Structure 1
């Protein structure tokens, strides 16, 4: 794997913008920006070997700074929603920013997607790109000085591997993920309704009108959430089920049967038009399937494209949303001095 480093002439918030291009032996390519450790492009081959950019992104890098849809970014400290923006750790209550109505979303107003990450010494022949960030104690009102690293690797068999690490000097909560929007036909090729999807989950966590999990763990049987067998996504998007209506599409967490086993496939997406397939493997217990229900509010995309509702889909590996509210959900608490570690692999076929 080769890494090319490009420093942009422009600066943002006093920081130099840097773009890293990772290329594997087969010619697959991914571009990552130091702002938000964001994946800004990913070129994968179709059934004829033609490469296209299959992740949504912005025409201008600075648009990621004001990005309300989190395109391609690393999310932290806590991915997804926290009810009322309140958490309790060790008997102490912390009031987080309420940046999503009455709730906390994706780390607050200045989450990890809005900060500049530093690179380790990158040189030719590196096996991965490692970006790091130090989140100071009480940043966005989270306790503990948290040191995080994200490693991006592009393997010879066309897999993008993301490894997450963290350590804190106080008990805190951590739930990191990547928020890339995929369209396997190409980022500018319309909506993902025709894509086919499998999620290896027998249960999901239903949401209320604020897209907050209610605490129930419900069977997917007989619902639009049943992706145990390959299913066209549009079938569910057109459903009149209450869960689809409340989410304005899919915005739901699925309880993975893989249960943290990186050898077991958690999900798979197939685009019949291009022939591309993407498999997802993860050490996390849940995966959020988000169908891009609010993408029409995004800034102008790459090549001048105006993204619309359902132009891309996210498969965000994670602890369950609103996990501090529901104690029977997997714990997202990171104890002082203990290492947070998590891996997700997106493999393209």
Structure 2
């Protein structure tokens, strides 16, 4: 059974912030805080049993409070981008903050999204159950939204994310976790990682706005083709700026949890397999990390390609693309999202 301890992590706007440490029977260790449901550490063994922390982040709460590129945090009320921060529901127009400075779009819930609140928290079996009520009008979104987010670490080496929400008014909901992974244990950049994504199509974006064009294009013959395990660095070399920030349309199958992606780091032997009930996964390779100075854990400087994100979610800007996904939540309905990360190792020589 997973062992869980709770520690004082600091204060935020007069509220006490806690850090939970979860350790399973195999020694995997997860640290998560009730400030933004942020995963601060994730210690996973390599093929020799040596543990290393495979997520980017900070040692102190103050660094998260000072602002960061969503290291380990929940993104919501609506993850990813909403074009112009505008949408219409039931004949009423809503204007949200356009908080992504380079593009002028609404990003990951706005100026103070779900990542910048202290959530109620309690131990729940092999996980932590976080909850909060997002007020009607918070960041411009309609409806009072009751949200729960459970993060668990199981004895069979699964990191499990469960999200649930319901609202008293018609609103927009799309939640995800925004961890940056580096399966080498942050000993090198991510270019040697082998990536497979279970998708034949992407939703391409306009470079000027970072918004989907509305098209659904095949990955065949492009740098975006990860249908077979592909060296991430080799794929990046096919992009003019070595950049990846793109939504993949996951293949549909009969399983409630579909295989989304698998990542292998050949030197350590660590493998992360992602399953989800969501229709898409956003691949981001951290190419913008060098735009600012990020001093991470132990004084490590996080530069471009220090980590990658695989964000299981609905497609970006779906509220403006009816053929994408339904991100509208009606009163009486329940939003349910489950994503699992399975950790293992492969045999081989260092």
1:12 deviates by 2.2
Q: Distance in 2 between matches of 1:170 and 1:131?
A: 22
Distance 2:289 2:59 in 1: 15
Q: CA deviation at 1:2?
A: 1.5
**How far off is 1:259 after superposition?**
5.7
2:83 paired with 1:79:
no
1:337 is displaced (CA, Å) by: 2.3
Partner of 2:111: 109
1:6-51 Cα shifts (integer Å, max 9, x gaps): 023x322212120001111111110001110000000001011111
- Matched-pair contact (CA < 8 Å) for 1:35–1:65: no
> Could you list the per-position Cα deviations for residues 281-322 of structure 1 after superposition, in whole angstroms to 9, with x for gaps in the alignment?
000000000001122225310011000101000000000001
Which of 333, 336, 343 pairs up with 2:331? Answer: 336
Name the CA distance, whole Å, in 1 between partners of 2:257 and 2:174: 21
Residue 348 of structure 2 corresponds to which residue in structure 1? none
* 1:316 matched residue in structure 2: 311
Work out whether 1:218 is the aligned partner of 2:224: no
Aligned match of 2:196: 198
The within-5 A match list for 1:54-73 is 54-73=54-73
Residue 12 (str. 1) matches residue 23 (str. 2): no
Unpaired runs of at least 5, structure 2: 345-350
Preserved contact between residue 59 and residue 304 of structure 1 (Cα < 8 Å): no
**Matched pairs, number:** 339
| 2:234 match | 235
- Distance, in Å, in 2 between the alignment partners of 1:170 and 1:261 is 31
Structure 1 segments unaligned to the other structure (5+ residues): none
SS of 1:113's partner is: helix
Distance (Å, rounded) in 2 between the aligned partners of 1:67 and 1:258: 37
The reply on whether 1:155 has 2:160 as its aligned counterpart is: no
Tell me the CA shift for residue 276 of structure 1: 0.2
Cα RMSD for the two superposed structures: 1.4
Q: CA deviation at 1:66?
A: 2.7
Quote the Cα distance in structure 1 between the aligned partners of 2:44 and 2:252.
26
Using the size of structure 1 for normalisation, the TM-score is: 0.94
Distance 1:258 1:70 in 2: 29
Compute the displacement of 1:262 (Å). Answer: 4.0
Moved over 3 A (4+): 258-264
1:304 aligns with 2:308: no
Given the superposition, is the C-alpha separation of residues 24 and 306 from structure 1 closer, same or farther in structure 2, using an over 3 Å criterion? same
- Is the contact made by 1:68 and 1:298 (CA closer than 8 Å) also made in structure 2? no
Could you tell me how far apart the structure 2 residues matched to 1:262 and 1:311 are?
32
For 1:268 and 1:327, how far apart are their aligned partners in 2?
29
- The residue number in structure 2 matching 1:280 is 274
